[in-house]
Amino acid sequence: MLLVKLELLAALANTLESLSPGAGSKAAFESPKVAAHGDFASTAAMQLAKPLQRKPRELAEQLAAALQATPAFARWVDAIEIAGPGFLNIRLKTAARQQVVREVLEAGPAFGSQPAREDRVLVEFVSANPTGPLHVGHGRQAALGDAICNLLATQGDKVWREFYYNDAGVQIQTLATSTQLRAKGFKPGDPEWPEQAYNGEYIADIAADFKAKKTVRSDDREYTASGDVEDIDSIRQFAVAYLRHEQDLDLKAFQVKFDNYYLESSLYTSGRVAATVQKLIDAGKTYELDGALWLKSTDYGDDKDRVMRKGDGTYTYFVPDVAYHIAKWERGFHQVVNIQGTDHHGTIARVRAGLQAAGVGIPAGYPDYVLHTMVRVVRGGEEVKISKRAGSYVTLRDLIEWTSTDAVRFFLLSRKPDTEYTFDIDLALAQNNDNPVYYVQYAHARICSVLAAWGGDAASLVGADLSPLESPASQALLLQLAKYPAMLTAAAKDFAPHDVTFYLRELAASYHSYYDAERILVDDEPVKRARLALVAATARVLHNGLAVLGVSAPQKM
């Protein structure tokens, strides 16, 4: 139906242009709020009424008559109804709705996607410091980031996935100290064990491998342990590499890959932090007070000015963030999306203020942020809080091992990022309609079973006569298929992969209803081929939508 819509849109543009030069560029269709009102709606008559000094409803009648006289509307439109002060509700012919089946089968994996363009987008997500295993909050961020990247790619963007982390600082020093104590034979609970040390069993594993002089490799580093328990620098480097390797294993199990790893320490060693601070000083956007250097962030909408450099000479954490985003801009990424926890909300205003104050040409509102809440995990109605391996929290690997990668991804994407989410392990394991990922995957597997029972050449269905698809059940399924491209575009614009999960559940429901209403493998050959084409198109859209989420589309269940 996409081609039908484009033809009708072109006819609307030409008609508007004839009524008022320049109006054609504003031609657009909206989706009626009530499905029974039609397939498309237009407010063009109300928009043009004032400049043309006409009554909106009278103009709507003229516009409707002119549109019905065009070849495109004559071919595809059953009726144009005028409602209210001048709305045009456009109702398509059955044949127009049926065209979506052919479009899906012809486009295949590309259905719903837009042509490639030159826009480059950097999405930064996960960005966990290597101080312990990835927790379920990191899992939600990994699922969000990867799905948002996939959504942007469907719109033709060139997407770059980046993982930013700190390999120095207080947390890393605590990791090194904790590992050194374990290597020396101390453990949590001993008098020598500091209160702030990391207590998980993973620390003992790192210490044992360090003493064994093992070599660890991750996607961005490799290191061989010295084995000397007094060599704190070697312990630090080995522990960081070890945990980066562990994170890579978790992300591999979660089917998430990154194009680049960016180290916070590099911002200091390269001089970027110092250069950024100097830019802000030179721009007159800083001042000294009480031995500290402050940024005039209130000049850019922040609720108060922020300390940049403390009295001891160290920088506050948002300063390297500003330097990092200037680096992103200079690398050619003029759209950047950061996926972070809601605890980073206070960072947004000060980072954006710093970027504006630096005067390097970065526009207001850069970068975009998607903030997410943490995740509660329940099993048997009770909250699960502790993992033996991590010592204090449920890890992403725990969740994958208890359920599956598909379930974790779909569940963590099934709500808006900033809403609280409870992951129910029992529900994720259930093989019934209450389990949303099972429900959607089962629809796909059910169709594959029908196609396998048919045994014909699926490619031949592209040319099937679709006229038999006239029943209410088939029309409802056609309507759902036609919504997919616009849903993708809106979800990409809003960074909203949860919209994809909602859509897939609705599409699966439409298919299950259709399957219950009509036999597919009937004796009447034209009817059978039309119905097979419809369900094959449904399977393709289910597959495409699940792929955006990073979830598999099984052929058998």
The rounded radius of gyration (Å) of the Cα atoms in the chain is 29
Confidence category of residue 346, pLDDT binned at 50, 70, 90: confident
> What's the whole-number mean pLDDT along residues 116-130?
95
pLDDT tens column, 252-276: 999 999 999 999 999 999 999 999 9
Q: Is the pLDDT of residue 2 over 70?
A: yes
Q: Is the pLDDT of residue 387 over 70?
A: no
First to last CA, the chain: 31
Nearest 5°: the CA angle 322, 324, 328 is: 115
Who's near 385: CB < 8 A, 6+ residues apart? 377, 393, 394
- Rounded to the nearest integer, the mean pLDDT of the chain is 95
Residue 31 contacts residue 1 (beta carbons within 8 Å):
no
In what helix (H) or strand (E) does residue 294 lie, and over which residues does it extend? Answer: strand 292-295
Full set of structural domains in the chain with CATH: 2-92 (3.30.1360.70), 433-549 (1.10.730.10)
The whole model's pTM is what? 0.92
Cis check for the bond before 109: say yes or no (omega within 30 of 0): no
> What's the whole-number mean pLDDT along residues 521-541?
98
Confidence category of residue 391, pLDDT binned at 50, 70, 90: low
Confidence category of residue 163, pLDDT binned at 50, 70, 90: very high
Which residues, listed in sequence order, are joined to residue 161 by a DSSP beta bridge? 123
